[in-house]
Structure 1
Amino acid sequence: MIKRNLTPLLTDAIAHSPAVALLGPRQVGKTTLALEIGSLRIGGREALYLDLESEQDRAKLAQPELYLADHQDKLVILDEVHRAPALFPVLRGLIDRGRRAGQTAGQYLLLGSASLDLLKQAGETLAGRIAYLELTPFTVSETSAIAGDELWLRGGFPESFLAPSASRSLRWRQDFIRSYLERDIPQFGPRIAAETLRRFWTMLAHHQGGLLNTAQFARNLGVDAKTAASYLDLLVDLLLVRRLPPWHVNIGKRLIRSPKVYVRDSGLIHALLGITDKENLLSHPVVGQSWECFVIENLLASAPDSVQGYFYRSSGGAEIDLLLTWPDGKQWAVEIKRSLTPKLERGFYAACADLKPQRKFVVYPGIERYRLAEDIEVISLAQLASDLAGLNLRLE
């Protein structure tokens, strides 16, 4: 089993919070991780697992307050909890009852395949009683002993990454996309034609890393802008697409204010575009944008939760691919290059002159770490992700 970086953070959250929500797209490994954590008996508690997609387990919760009250001495794991929104007020009452009895942590672990319904319900009902964590697909720091470019090509979903062959990996991703379109997405919102949403998702893959232009997407789909925006919101809420916000600062220059849009998992990008192997990928026009998103997703997954990711671009051409910003105002500027001999353009220097970041990095596909200038370091993705993960553990 590949050890997940989130394990110590999840263990700590369960030890200190009465409820923890573990969010992530389907098939990302939430259930496997939850059962592994349950076997640790945190605080001496056994784990009770209930899958709310199982009719048998849903039947146990016909009277949820009575059933869960009988198991308040256990860590109750509720999988696909967004399917039972009526549970949240019950959980609030049980948590408060447990607090009065001296049980202040480790009561419920809630697993959800989307941020949307779970956050909407829990945010209103369990405020002050719940901690949130997101489980992403595998990252380079988790798979460094195996990966090479396989993680970039196949993406980080466990079944895709660990498939016995490239063809099986691609088939799994194609089936995953079809399952989302035909079965999973209809659970979360109004009925959307699967073929229309597939076209939209594929457009996003072709547009990978580009500035959001909702009106253009709407014209291409033959729908109005509001409808196209709702499609994008849905894929963002399902943790499949990222809107990377622009950094705004009053420096007397005209700044780009539209977000960039990325399909978050590189393997899904390649499946949507019909890219079957590394040779196809390296000759495809999306190769640079695919690599850029792969780097951004890995770095944001590795960074502490308090670190926010942005990009910076001015109308004059100053640009930073990824700007990592700490709560105290400290910033790291990251330029992303798919070249073993990376060279920086004038726009990066101009952007750094505007923002004066504390550290500057160029992420490239090589393994050597060296200085390109006195204050600019060329570094591999694995090394920078490891540095950020180390910061994360120290902060915890």
Structure 2
Amino acid sequence: MIKRNLQALAQRRLELSPAVALLGPRQVGKTTLARELAANRPGALVLDMELASDRAALAQPQLFLAAHRDRFVVIDEVQFAPGLFSALRPEIDADRRPGRFLLLGSASGELLRQTSESLAGRIAYLELAPLAVAEVLDAAAPDLGALQSLWLRGGFPLSHLAADDEAAYVWRQDFIRTFLQRDLPGMGVRVPAETLRRFWTMLAHVQGQLFNASQLGVALGGAAHTTVARYLDLLVDTLMVRRLEPFLANVGKRLVKSPKVYLRDSGILHALLGLATVRDLQGHPIAGASWEGFVVEQVATQLPADAQLGFYRTAAGAEIDLVIEHRGRRTGVEIKFSSAPKPSRGFWQAIDDLQLERAFVLAPVPRRYPLSEKVDVLPVWDVAQALPNAG
């Protein structure tokens, strides 16, 4: 079993807050992590809202929760029980000791809306992403084959740990089918599964590009841009797609203001594009954009909760893939799919525009080395060195 980096942070949040919401896509390992946390709490109660028996047990939530007030309660797939949040508020107010509830959910947007209305000031939020490089590789002795496998298969544990690449590919195809045909309808989504699969595949083809709803609408047979935006919201809310907003700095330049879109898991991206092996991937035009999205997620999942992440691009061509702002400090990150990366002139111009103290180039290189006085090239397993809390 792979120990998740989030486990220690989840434990700390449970020591401070009456309720913790652990968000993440289906099959990412939330239930496994929750059971690890529950194992340290005698008498813990684990309920799954996909099970009719557990939903029946919570048919009268105020009575049930009050009767189990002395127990640590885990409620899995809580988005299937939206009425539960109004019952949690008075129960938490009756006993505000920390570590009472752990809520697991797969639809972040809806959960955040529901809990912000009912549980403001009573709940902490954490997100469990697919497996990261830091959870799979030993930074002291990194295995490049393991890195390549993680990039190809993605970070869903059952895909990553599959017996071979073919088994991993089949698992991801099954995951996509189940997600579209069962999970989304179970959340109340009424868009045809085939329509959403086409849209998801279109996003895979434009990985890392600026989102153009009108253009995608034409490709979807004339769908309105508002409809396309709604489809994007669905995939963002279910944590399958990252919408990366531009960093709108006051630099006196004409800035690009459309967001970029990335499929958050590289393995799902490859499955949608029919790429089952490393050979398939390396010979495909999407390889560079796939690597970029893979590295974006390595950065995003390790950021401090109060950090801001965006990209910077001007109409004149200044550009940097990621800008991190944290407590008054800005750091730039450029991502290159090259063993000898050479940033463009636009990268250096972006450093000047934003007056960055430090910038990094993340690339598939074996070791760190400097490009200039304030720009270093880093291997992806050293991504923590590019983050604001690295000092």
TM range (shorter): over 0.9
Within the alignment, does 1:65 sit opposite 2:58 as a pair?
no
Structure 1 residues not aligned, in runs of 5+? none
Q: 3-state DSSP class of the match of 2:362?
A: strand
Deviation at 1:187, TM superposition (A): 2.6
Within the alignment, does 1:120 sit opposite 2:119 as a pair?
no
Match of 1:137 in 2: 130
Equivalent AA in structure 2 for residue 192 of structure 1: V
Using the alignment, how far apart are the partners of 2:43 and 2:358 within structure 1? 45
Q: TM-score, normalised by structure 2?
A: 0.96
Equivalent AA in structure 2 for residue 298 of structure 1: Q
Using the alignment, how far apart are the partners of 2:12 and 2:62 within structure 1? 27
Q: 3-state DSSP class of the match of 2:136?
A: coil
Using the alignment, how far apart are the partners of 2:285 and 2:376 within structure 1? 28
Match of 1:199 in 2: 198
Using the alignment, how far apart are the partners of 2:136 and 2:120 within structure 1? 35
Using the alignment, how far apart are the partners of 1:13 and 1:109 within structure 2? 10
Asked whether the equivalents of residues 302 and 386 of structure 1 are also in contact (C-alpha less than 8 Å), the reply is no
Aligned counterpart in structure 1 of residue 77 of structure 2, from 80, 95, 98: 80
Match of 1:219 in 2: 218
Equivalent AA in structure 1 for residue 118 of structure 2: T
List aligned pairs for 1:339-354, cutoff 5 A.
339-354=338-353
List aligned pairs for 1:1-396, cutoff 5 A.
1-41=1-41, 46-99=43-96, 104-145=97-138, 147-222=146-221, 223-326=223-326, 328-385=327-384, 388=387, 391=389
Deviation at 1:190, TM superposition (A): 3.9
Deviations 1:296-323 (A, max 9, x none): 0011101111112110000111000111
Equivalent AA in structure 2 for residue 64 of structure 1: P
Equivalent AA in structure 1 for residue 151 of structure 2: W
How many positions carry a matched residue from both structures?
Answer: 384
Deviations 1:140-196 (A, max 9, x none): 000004622111000000000000110010000000000111011113344111111
Deviations 1:30-70 (A, max 9, x none): 000000011122xxx63110011111111211222111111
Deviation at 1:116, TM superposition (A): 2.3
Equivalent AA in structure 1 for residue 105 of structure 2: G
Using the alignment, how far apart are the partners of 2:251 and 2:56 within structure 1? 59
Deviation at 1:387, TM superposition (A): 6.1
When structure 1 is superposed on structure 2, of 217-226 and 345-354 the one drifting more is: 217-226
Structure 2 residues not aligned, in runs of 5+? none
Q: 3-state DSSP class of the match of 2:291?
A: helix
Equivalent AA in structure 1 for residue 116 of structure 2: G
Deviation at 1:234, TM superposition (A): 0.5
Using the alignment, how far apart are the partners of 2:6 and 2:387 within structure 1? 13
Using the alignment, how far apart are the partners of 1:27 and 1:275 within structure 2? 21
Using the alignment, how far apart are the partners of 1:245 and 1:134 within structure 2? 19
**Percent identical across equivalent pairs?**
54
Using the alignment, how far apart are the partners of 1:323 and 1:269 within structure 2? 24
Q: Is the alpha carbon distance of 1:224 and 1:387 closer, same or farther for their aligned partners in structure 2, counting shifts above 3 Å?
A: closer
Q: TM-score, normalised by structure 1?
A: 0.94
Using the alignment, how far apart are the partners of 2:180 and 2:385 within structure 1? 35
Using the alignment, how far apart are the partners of 1:253 and 1:182 within structure 2? 45
Deviation at 1:242, TM superposition (A): 0.7
Q: 3-state DSSP class of the match of 1:210?
A: coil
Asked whether the equivalents of residues 245 and 259 of structure 2 are also in contact (C-alpha less than 8 Å), the reply is yes
Using the alignment, how far apart are the partners of 1:387 and 1:349 within structure 2? 17
Asked whether the equivalents of residues 310 and 322 of structure 2 are also in contact (C-alpha less than 8 Å), the reply is yes
Using the alignment, how far apart are the partners of 2:384 and 2:269 within structure 1? 22
Q: 3-state DSSP class of the match of 1:90?
A: helix
When structure 1 is superposed on structure 2, of 16-25 and 379-388 the one drifting more is: 379-388
Using the alignment, how far apart are the partners of 2:385 and 2:129 within structure 1? 16
**Which 4+ runs in 1 deviate beyond 6 A?**
none
Q: 3-state DSSP class of the match of 2:135?
A: coil
Output the aligned Cα RMSD: 1.4
Deviation at 1:386, TM superposition (A): 6.1
Deviations 1:64-113 (A, max 9, x none): 211111111111000011111111111101100113xxxx2111100001
Q: Is the alpha carbon distance of 1:172 and 1:221 closer, same or farther for their aligned partners in structure 2, counting shifts above 3 Å?
A: same
Equivalent AA in structure 2 for residue 93 of structure 1: P
Using the alignment, how far apart are the partners of 2:188 and 2:173 within structure 1? 22
Deviation at 1:22, TM superposition (A): 0.3
Using the alignment, how far apart are the partners of 1:271 and 1:364 within structure 2? 23
Using the alignment, how far apart are the partners of 1:110 and 1:313 within structure 2? 38
Using the alignment, how far apart are the partners of 2:147 and 2:235 within structure 1? 29
Q: Is the alpha carbon distance of 1:386 and 1:51 closer, same or farther for their aligned partners in structure 2, counting shifts above 3 Å?
A: farther
Q: Is the alpha carbon distance of 1:386 and 1:374 closer, same or farther for their aligned partners in structure 2, counting shifts above 3 Å?
A: closer
